Amino acid sequence: MRQPDGYHLAELNVGRLAAPTDDPRVAEFMQNLDRVNGLGKRMPGFVWMMEGSGEPGTGNTDNNIGDDPQFVANLTVWEDVQTLETFVWDTVHRQFYDRRAEWFELLKDQHFVMWFLPAGHRPTLDEALQRLNDLRGNGPSERAFGWADLPQATRWREMRCKEGV
């Protein structure tokens, strides 16, 4: 997929925490959410992030999906693929990404989706979940895609080849 002029890149990542947010098994993850999210917000190319309640140490985890408080979502918008890749692979975020199996259950269904949206548009969680369902049901398209569908996603390819992520 090629990014059209005047568009930004949105991404949704969903996961189910291995334990409730106040459980010691996910404490290290929860204690670092504000730090990692704060870094993301200061990165060149960052545009917008779906916010939670603003309570310290909760990050976006109160943006849960359905009635399951452990099924959480992260929704952000970036200027382009390169700026998102820089945040994901070249900051402290990567340390947490590499350890995700410690804090999250392994999901059988696709749990990550990206799409291009007009600059200035702020997607809702429902809109993002529709994109994820579109990717799950129909495969990659202009409407919903993953890293593998972006030829410009060079860091993702390098990291995937090196580490099998």
- Tens of pLDDT, residue by residue over 128-158, are 999 999 999 999 999 999 999 999 898 888 8
- Which CATH number goes with the domain that contains 67? 3.30.70.100
Domain assignment present for 30: yes
Average pLDDT over residues 4-15: 96
Please indicate, yes or no, if residue 2 is contained in any of the structural domains: no
**1 within domain boundaries:** no
The answer, yes or no, to whether residue 163 has pLDDT greater than 90, is: no
User: What is the count of structural domains for the chain?
Assistant: 1
Residue type, 24: P
Domain that holds residue 66: 7-163
Q: How do strand 68-78 and strand 7-16 relate by DSSP bridges?
A: antiparallel
Scanning the chain, the segments in alpha helix (DSSP H) are 27-42, 81-90, 93-98, 100-103, 125-138, 154-163
How buried is residue 10: exposed, middle or buried, by Cβ count under 10 Å (0-12/13-18/19+)? Answer: buried
**Residue environment code for 111-150, b if the CB has 16+ CB neighbours within 10 A, otherwise e:** bebbbbbeeeeebebeebbbbbebbeeeebeeebbbbeeb
Distance CA 50, CA 57 (A): 15
In the predicted model, is pLDDT for residue 164 greater than 50?
no
pLDDT tier at 69 (50, 70, 90 boundaries)?
Answer: confident
- Report how far apart, in Å, the C-alpha atoms of 164 and of each of 80, 98, 137, 156, 161 are: 24, 11, 25, 11, 6
Of the candidates 51, 50, 64, the one whose C-alpha atom is nearest the C-alpha of residue 21 is 64
- 102 within a domain of the structure (yes/no): yes
CA pair distance 74, 16, nearest whole angstrom: 12
